[in-house]
Amino acid sequence: MSADEVKHPGINLGDTRDLSHRDAEHDLFGFWIFLMSDAIIFALLFATYGVMLVGTAGGPTPADTYKILPAFIETLVLLTSSFTFGMASIAMKHDAGKVRLMRWLAVTLVLGLIFLAMELKDFATMIGDGAYPARSGYLSSFFALVPLHGLHVAAGCLWVVVMMVQVAFFGLDERVKVNLLRLGLFWHFLDIVWIAIFSVVYLQGLIR
């Protein structure tokens, strides 16, 4: 295989060595597989949630528990952050300069943190209303699924910070570019999972 065949379209490695192109291809393919494996974890937690929905044990039910408005705003915030990350990726691909890239990354980070803050507040409200995880099987499954996504977002935020430091430190070298691309995949993946959470957990909760 020549290097041209394996050049990753989403990345701008320029005229670096052939080997770098090939490594980038491996790295990203590997990350897709990692996400697939992670998706299975979420799928099983969704299935568990479905199984445990009936296990309310006389405690709060989904309809009692969920507040749809904050969840909807969180959805908008996270979707917007995906858009801003997309802008960061474009800035990187078209060599739009470090400053623009950093700016979009910073916006993404802030949106991620807003999402986390809102979600934590939601949890606090739920727990304050007596909907804490040890209350019932149903709440256990909610608090395994949704906060796990939150944990992913938190890890993503930390990753954004690390990448911003690296951009400042190394400039846009090969590793930084590949890792930014991986972070992008991760961030969009979290969006998809959240959309599933919003539709399966929150929207369906309204009718239960």
Partner 1 sequence: MTDRRSERSWEKALRTAAMLSTGGALSGCDVLKLTVVNHAGPIAAAQWHLYVVVGIVLVFVAGPVLLLTPIMAWRYRLSNEHSTYKPKWDFSWWIEGLIWIPPTGIVIGLAFLLWTYTHRLDPYRPIASTQPTVEVQAVGLDWKWLFIYPDHHVAVINQLAIPVGRPIHLSLTSGTVMQSLMVPRLGGQIYAMAGMRTELNLAASQPGVFRGENTQYNGPGFPQQKFDVVALPAPDYDRWLARVRAAAHPLDTAAYAALFQRSVPAHPIYYSRTPDGFFGYIMSRFRSSPTENER
Partner 2 sequence: MSASVWPAVLGRFEWHALPFVRAWENPTLNELIGAGAAAIVVVGAIALIALITLLGKWRYLWREWLTSLDHKRIGIMYVVLAFVMLSRALVEAMLMRLQQATAINAPGVVDPEHFAQLFSTHGSIMIFFMAMPFLTGAFNYVMPLQIGARDVAFPLLNSISLWLTGGAAGLMMISLVVGTFSTGGWSGYPPYTELAFSPGVGPDYWIWAVTLGSIASTLSGLNFAVTIYKKRCPGMTLMRMPLFVWTTLCTSILMIFAMPPLTVATALLALDRYLGFHFFTNDLGGNMMNYANLFWLFGHPEVYVLILPAFGVYSEVVSTFSSKELYGYTSLVLATMAIAVLSFTVWVHHFFAMGQSANINAVFGIATMTIGVPTGVKIYDWIWTMFRGQVRFTVPMLYSLAFMMTFVLGGFTGIILAFPPLDYLVHNTLFLVAHFHNMLIPGLLYGMLAGYHYWFPKAFGFRLDEKWGRVSFGCWVIGFYLAFMPLYVLGAAGMARRTQEVFEPSFRPWLYVAGVGALILFGALASLFVQLWVSIRDREANRVTAGDPWDGRGLEWSTSAPPPDYNFALLPQVRGRDPFYDGKRDGDPYAPPPEYHPIELPRNSMTGPVLGIVGTALAFGLVWHMWWLAILGTVMIVATIIARSFARDVHRTIPVHEIERTEAHWLAAVAAARAIPRQLEMTPLNQGLAAVTR
Q: Which is nearer to partner 2, 69 or 171 (CB)?
A: 171
Segment lying near partner 2 (by CB under 8 A), choices 36-44, 108-116, 118-126, 190-198:
36-44
**Given 70, 86, 133, 137, the residue binding partner 1 (CB under 8 A):** 137
Segment lying near partner 2 (by CB under 8 A), choices 8-16, 24-32, 104-112, 185-193:
24-32
- By CB under 8 A, is residue 54 in contact with partner 1? yes
- By CB under 8 A, is residue 47 in contact with partner 1? no
Provide the residue type at 46 as one letter.
F
- By CB under 8 A, is residue 128 in contact with partner 1? no
Q: Which is nearer to partner 1, 52 or 178 (CB)?
A: 52
Write out the chain in H/E/C secondary structure.
CCHHHHCCCCCCCCCCCHHHHHHHHHHHHHHHHHHHHHHHHHHHHHHHHHHHCCCCCCCCCHHHHCCHHHHHHHHHHHHHHHHHHHHHHHHHHCCCCHHHHHHHHHHHHHHHHHHHHHHHHHHHHHHHCCCCHHHCHHHHHHHHHHHHHHHHHHHHHHHHHHHHHHHHHHCCCHHHHHHHHHHHHHHHHHHHHHHHHHHHHHHHHHCC
Segment lying near partner 1 (by CB under 8 A), choices 11-19, 39-47, 55-63, 156-164:
55-63
Q: How far apart are CB 61 and partner 1 at their closest, in Å? A: 11
Neighbouring C-alpha atoms within 13 Å toward the C-beta of 165: 5
Q: How many residues bind partner 2 (CB under 8 A)?
A: 42
Distance, in Å, from the CA atom of 188 to the CA atom of 78, rounded to the nearest integer, reads 9
Tell which positions 59-98 bind partner 2, by CB under 8 A. 59
- By CB under 8 A, is residue 149 in contact with partner 2? no
Q: Which is nearer to partner 2, 68 or 161 (CB)?
A: 161
Segment lying near partner 2 (by CB under 8 A), choices 30-38, 77-85, 108-116, 199-207:
30-38
Q: Which is nearer to partner 1, 65 or 136 (CB)?
A: 136
Measuring CA to CA, which residue among 21, 25, 19, 10 is closest to residue 94?
10
**Given 20, 108, 136, 141, the residue binding partner 1 (CB under 8 A):** 136
Interface ranges with partner 1 (CB under 8 A): 54-58, 136-137
